Amino acid sequence: MKKNLSRMGLPVGFLVLILLLLVPTPPDLSTAGHRMLAILVFSVIIWMTEAVAYPVSSGIIMSLMAFLLGTAPNMVNPSKMLGTSGALKMALGGFSSTALALVGAALLIAAAMMKTGLDKRIALVVLSKIGAKTHHVLAGVICVGFVLSFFVPSTTARVSCMVPIVMGIIAVFGVPRKSKFAAIMLIAVAQADSIWNVGIKTAAAQNMVALGFIEKQLGTTISWLDWFIAAAPFAVIMSVLLYFVLLKLMPPEMEEIPGGREKIAQELSALGPMKTDEKKLLLISVVLLFFWATEKIVHPFDTSSTTIVAVTLMMMPGIGIMTWKEVQERINWGTLLLFGVGISLGSAILSTKAGEWIAHVIVQNFGLYDATATFIIAILALFLILIHLGFASATALSSAMIPICISVLQGASENITLNVVGMVMILQYTICFGFILPVNAPQNMIAYSTDTFEVKDFIKTGIPLTVLAYLTILLLTNTYWKWLGLVL
């Protein structure tokens, strides 16, 4: 089924693109805006069907923007064409974003963690403190996801670190791979990381997409601490709910694993004493975390700039932890390419007024001009959760949907008082969910590849988790976030 979808994705995408281009341009929408909407729909189709690799999709989208926008009238001077050169500048605009620099630097930090083994040591130290009762081990796995989110700013890297550790624990405990214990451990690894993608600004690339749009379109910079104060309570609540949902729906076969604490201690002992590179990386990471947390309080330096300094130190002669050759081998450069093009796509949707046009249609049809802030969040959050079912990349989803959310909120704010920046943040939280299907996020697929659980197991726990997350969003919208001034 998935192969058929992938095979048909590209031709269907181009067919829909052509059909949309043939539709007469609405009178209140520019030609460039009309073409950007066609490109957006095409992008969503090939991203949802995974018709081509994400880096390849980036090249296709840039090419379409260069030629379709290049042959459209200039938005400033409609008597002249924009030209392929001007259109290509729009297609490449995302690569000059500070958010892109932060994502690139985050990938380097994640590579350093895996190269030195510091991530594995942190995980084992936390697990060694929790005992051998199965519910304690589950709590420890969730706790490790939380701790690593501060130090490893890549969801895929965090899960890639955790999966072999948890699989090793399952093996040394002598627990069957297909047991409920093994299943809930691996599901917890993926879900806890998705939850803490919400709680910590630097934990996921999709947050950088949203922050890039907020900075460029709304002229506001959100510090690491501001994000943490707003989002961490949600992540804490959901971490607790994850623990109880997993224990209730998939209770492990045993209450305690004999000799479990000793076996974890053996794993930790096998690592030996901390190496010099681990100590250097830990020091750099702790100092960097301090700079992130004290931005705009102790110093004026933004997150992207301090992170770039940190990764530069990691490769400096005498201080360095890894060489550039080692970096090249460990970085997924396609992620950066998708990220840059995603920002370009969203920015072009806004600059051509296509987002404004869609927003007007949505606001009118749902009656959002006279709606409350809670109702607007409820509708848009539900829409984002449902559309995420078709996406394997939250970064791609943010790139396509956050610009539209910004336009919708700006349109609605003309009649009612709204904090557009705060509400965009809240909607970005829902984009991080991806709790229902293994294909909804790379971290889910990594956990699923262990063959410890079935798709139905993930769905069984993922649906109630999503419902609880949605209700928590609505609860905090009416309480905590309203008190912080994020809604009104």
HEC profile for 346-394?
HHHHHHCCHHHHHHHHHHHHCCHHHCCHHHHHHHHHHHHHHHHCCCCCH
Q: Reply yes or no on whether the pLDDT at 339 is more than 90.
A: no
Please give the model's pTM, rounded to 2 decimal places.
0.82
Domain count, the chain: 2
Does residue 77 lie in a domain region?
yes
Answer yes or no: are the C-beta atoms of 118 and 278 closer than 8 Å: yes
Do 67 and 212 belong together in one domain? no
Does residue 344 lie in a domain region?
no
How does the average pLDDT of the chain come out, rounded?
A: 87
Average pLDDT, integer, range 87-109:
85
SS3 149: helix
pLDDT grade for 132, boundaries at 50, 70 and 90 = low
Do 102 and 87 belong together in one domain? no
Instruction: Choose the final residue of a domain: 329, 351, 386.
Output: 329
Does residue 395 lie in a domain region?
no
The pLDDT assigned to 378 comes to 93
Does residue 232 lie in a domain region?
yes
pLDDT grade for 350, boundaries at 50, 70 and 90 = confident
Average pLDDT, integer, range 286-307:
89
* Full residue range of the structural domain in which residue 273 is found: 98-329
Q: Reply yes or no on whether the pLDDT at 2 is more than 70.
A: no
DSSP 67: I
The pLDDT assigned to 329 comes to 79
Do 223 and 305 belong together in one domain? yes
The pLDDT assigned to 5 comes to 63
Residues in the chain: 488
Do 26 and 141 belong together in one domain? no
Do 238 and 309 belong together in one domain? yes
Do 80 and 118 belong together in one domain? no
Residue that has been written with the tokens 């250097």 in this structure: 280
CA–CA distance, 377 with 488 (Å, rounded to integer): 12
Instruction: Choose the final residue of a domain: 267, 300, 329.
Output: 329
Do 296 and 320 belong together in one domain? yes
The pLDDT assigned to 216 comes to 84
Do 249 and 117 belong together in one domain? yes
Do 126 and 169 belong together in one domain? yes
Does residue 368 lie in a domain region?
no
Burial class (CB in 10 A: 0-12, 13-18, 19+), 89: middle
Does residue 464 lie in a domain region?
no
Tell me the backbone φ, ψ of residue 252, rounded to 5 degrees: -65, 155
Average pLDDT, integer, range 454-481:
95
Higher confidence at residue 213 or residue 124? 213
Instruction: Choose the final residue of a domain: 92, 119, 134.
Output: 92
Average pLDDT, integer, range 188-207:
93
Percentage, residues of the chain above pLDDT 90? 39
CA–CA distance, 200 with 229 (Å, rounded to integer): 9
The pLDDT assigned to 142 comes to 93
Do 151 and 233 belong together in one domain? yes
Higher confidence at residue 99 or residue 381? 381
SS3 81: strand
Q: Which of 117-126, 141-150, 291-300 has the lowest mean pLDDT?
A: 117-126
Does residue 187 lie in a domain region?
yes
Burial class (CB in 10 A: 0-12, 13-18, 19+), 334: middle
pLDDT grade for 4, boundaries at 50, 70 and 90 = low
Do 28 and 121 belong together in one domain? no
The pLDDT assigned to 258 comes to 66
What tens digit of pLDDT does each residue of 207-255 get? 988 998 998 889 999 999 999 999 999 999 999 999 999 999 999 887 7
Q: Reply yes or no on whether the pLDDT at 12 is more than 70.
A: yes
Do 68 and 127 belong together in one domain? no
